[in-house]
Structure 1
Amino acid sequence: MPRSGTTLMRAMLDAHPDVRCGEETRVIPRILGLNSQWRKSAKEWNRLQEAGVTDEVLKSAVASFIIQVIAGHGAPAPRLCNKDPLTMKSAVFLSDMLPNARYIFMIRDGRATVTITGFDLSDYRQCMTKWNSIMEVMDEQCTTVGDKCLKVYYEQLVLHPEPQMRRILDFLKLPWNESVLHHEEYIGKDVKLSKVERSSDQDVLEEVDQLAPMLRKLGYDTSRNPPNYGKPDELVSKKTEDLHRNREEWYKKAVEVVNDPERVEKPLPYPN
């Protein structure tokens, strides 16, 4: 799901010396969407079969396209990853084509995620029902893929980065490396943050049980507003303190790596 921490996740993985993710390709979800349309239309699917474009031919072609895009849009590395969030809607199909691939399903409280472009924030009901339907599909896809798909909660990754990253790297069969805990030092250097990728704003909405039952299914407490996700680890507290104390330096760095500098809030005075 877009705006669920996928940019943070890929930046942390990109900081690992054995991994290269890179920016969103934007074309992979589109080719997967076309593939889905072809298969849903009986008329179109029959035409493809009659033309000799069988299931195996199509799978092979789509797999080759995806591999070429992932491999070709950045520097070579021992392990490659793709950050396009909506590919999780096709995880079962991808798993069939790419049996050695592993999938990370980023989950974030929908009351924050609905600030995503494409949601009409003037229509609260539309926001949460749309989030719910997409998450329902992705959750089912991840569950069907089984032990090749790992569910990662954005809030827990932010509050407890080391245990979460150890769990993630173990799932990916990658050696532990401290650099993943200091990914911010690599932004603009080894880690290239797309100037059009957006990280997320927090927007807490109320009364969502009927509109978004997936919130409770995924373990979120919908009775609290604002939500309480727990206390941060010491490392996170120290980095937050550093962010406040060196706010001017971090502000300048943020302006350098985003497409629209006006979106970056200017730092407030730090209390003595």
Structure 2
Amino acid sequence: MMICPTRGKPFFLFIGVVSILFLLSVLVKITRDNDTEEGYERRGAHIISGTVKMEKHTFGNITFDNNSPFIFIGGMPRSGTTLMRSMMDAHPLVRCGEETRVIPRILSLRNQWKKSEREWRRLQEAGVTEELLDAAITAFVNHIIVGHGTLAERLCNKDPFTLKSTLYLSRVYPNAKFLLMIRDGRATIHSVITRKVTITGFDLTNFKQCLQRWNAGIELMYKQCMEVGPGRCMVVHYEKLVLHPRSMMEKILKFLDIPWNETVLHHEQFIGKKISLSKVERSSDQVVKPVNLDALTKWVGHIPDDVVKNMAKIAPMLRVLGYDPNANPPNYGTPDAEVLKKTEDVHIHGKEWYQKAVAVVNDPKRVDAPIIQ
């Protein structure tokens, strides 16, 4: 069963129609260009022995295509993907931007076509080959990544569910790298429920069911990350990023072949400047603040007793990912001194940070009240 974020049927009906129309336009363009060898090689997708050479997008001196070293950030919702992209966005050579929402949708459509043997056979009989679909899908993804924000030397996409398609993306983007955000599932689901983050298939009144859905979703993403391999997919634990941001960002930037820059440790200074936030994303009010410890253990004491007792059976991926399902509260580690200092600042100047958080959301009621010392 597909797991996708939802905002209601009208929204996804619109997104689905737009996505399909775009794909159709790309397929028509490729077919027309294929009528003449010159036009085909000059403008369209060049398909040779199963390899897709996509149309290039050039802006100034920067050229992007499916051979570009794009960065894909994903994971289950409420696992730190927005914090990760904000820290990356603070780097002068990188631009991620807000969630596009349409990229995971188009990948989901492709997965549905592929899973249905009858539908896939019909596509092949119609001349809509896998190579042709790859060309259309990567053209769509390229346009969205390149066009939905300002340009930078390195571009990245942050859509949580995009990493359900890590294997596919690793094939059509041979130079791309992936950051899979991992967070304690108990914290993730507590956040999903308390912040009322609607996700298809998740019953927000049932903690156990949500945790089981989290387990299935993260298992799929984790297995694909492992299959792609550590050279291209890096697992990033949210807790480690919060506790040790400097050492973690050093590892992440090295993995991505991006030079170190101190700005990644001070993303809050670039909110509203280099970093733009969506007023409808549920994490926007949190990432206006510096990296702090407040969200790590909010879930403790808020999980039903029967779920706590059977945690290891309900969510076996907790142990696979390095969490102790029986630790309540958990011990994630000792924070760095600079994190303690920033957390203290968030508390001392709670009202000021609260006002900044309210300014970046549509619904101020969802912003947590400041902790006054």
TM-score (norm 2): 0.71
2: CA distance between counterparts of 1:38 and 1:264? 40
Aligned equivalent of 1:49, options 124, 127, 135: 124
| Structure 1 partner of 2:213 | 130
Instruction: Give the Cα–Cα distance (whole angstroms) in 1 for the partners of residues 188 and 343 of structure 2.
Output: 22
Matched, 1:3 2:78: yes
- 2:225 paired residue number: 142
Name the CA distance, whole Å, in 1 between partners of 2:237 and 2:280.
Answer: 24
**What residue in structure 2 maps to residue 190 of structure 1?**
274
Distance in 1, matches of 2:261 and 2:165, equals 30
Name which structure has the greater RCO, CA cutoff 8 Å, separation 6+.
1
Partner deviation per Cα, 1:249-271 (whole Å, 9 max, x = no partner): 1111111112211111232431x
CA distance in 1 between partners of 2:342 and 2:203 (Å): 34
Q: Please give the alpha-carbon distance, in whole angstroms, between the structure 2 residues aligned to 1:244 and 1:15.
A: 23
Q: Deviations over 1:103-146 (max 9, x none)?
A: 00000000011132233243232111101100110011101111
Counterparts in 2 of 1:247 and 1:124: CA distance versus 1, 3 Å: closer
Quote the Cα distance in structure 2 between the aligned partners of 1:33 and 1:269. 44
Name the counterpart of 2:162: 87
Q: Equivalents in 2 of 1:226, 1:154: separation in Å?
A: 17
Q: 8 Å contact 2:358–2:367 — kept in the other structure?
A: yes
Q: Distance in 2 between matches of 1:269 and 1:43?
A: 61
Q: What amino acid is aligned across from residue 261 of structure 1 in structure 2?
A: P
Residue in structure 1 matching 2:251, options 134, 153, 167: 167
Counterpart in 2 of 1:108? 183
CA-CA distance at 1:211 after TM superposition = 0.7
How many residues align? The count is 270
Per-residue CA deviation, residues 58-116 of structure 1 (Å, 9 max, x unaligned), is 11111111011000000011000000010111000001000110000000000011132
**SS of the residue 1:81 aligns to:** strand
In the other structure, the counterpart of 1:12 is: 87
Name the SS of the counterpart of 1:106 in structure 2: strand
In 1, the alpha carbon distance for the partners of 2:327 and 2:180 equals 24
Aligned residues of 2:95 and 2:156 also touching (Cα < 8 A): yes
TM-score for both structures, normalised by structure 1 = 0.96
Q: Partner residue of 1:225?
A: 328
For the pair 1:242 / 2:345, whether they are aligned, the reply is: yes
C-alpha displacement of 1:33: 0.3
Amino acid at match of 1:101: A
The AA in structure 1 aligned to 2:211 is: M
Structure 1: 5+ residue stretches without partners: none
Counterpart contact for 2:166–2:228, Cα < 8 Å: yes
Distance apart, 1:2 and its partner CA:
1.1
In 2, distance between residues paired with 1:217 and 1:268?
A: 34
Inter-partner Cα distance in structure 2 for 1:266 and 1:70: 35
- Unpaired stretches in structure 2, ≥5 consecutive residues: 1-75, 287-294
Give the partner amino acid of 1:181: L
- Matched residue type, 2:299: D
Runs of 4+ in 1 over 3 A off after TM superposition: none
Structure 1 position 45, deviation (Å): 0.5
Q: Is structure 2 residue 227 aligned with structure 1 residue 152?
A: no
Aligned residues: percent identity?
Answer: 60
More strand by share: 2
The farther-off stretch of 143-152 and 192-201 is: 192-201
SS at match of 1:209: helix
Return the alpha-carbon distance in structure 1 between the equivalents of residues 371 and 138 of structure 2. Answer: 48
Match of 2:115 in 1: 40
Q: Deviations over 1:143-200 (max 9, x none)?
A: 1111200000000000100000000000000000000000011112111111111128
Deviations 1:23-62 (A, max 9, x none): 0000000000000000000111011101111011111111
Higher Rg of the two aligned structures: 2
**Could you tell me which of 261, 276, 289 is aligned with 1:177?**
261
Task: Check whether the contact 2:250–2:260 (CA below 8 A) recurs between aligned residues.
Answer: yes
Residue identity in the other structure for 1:148:
R
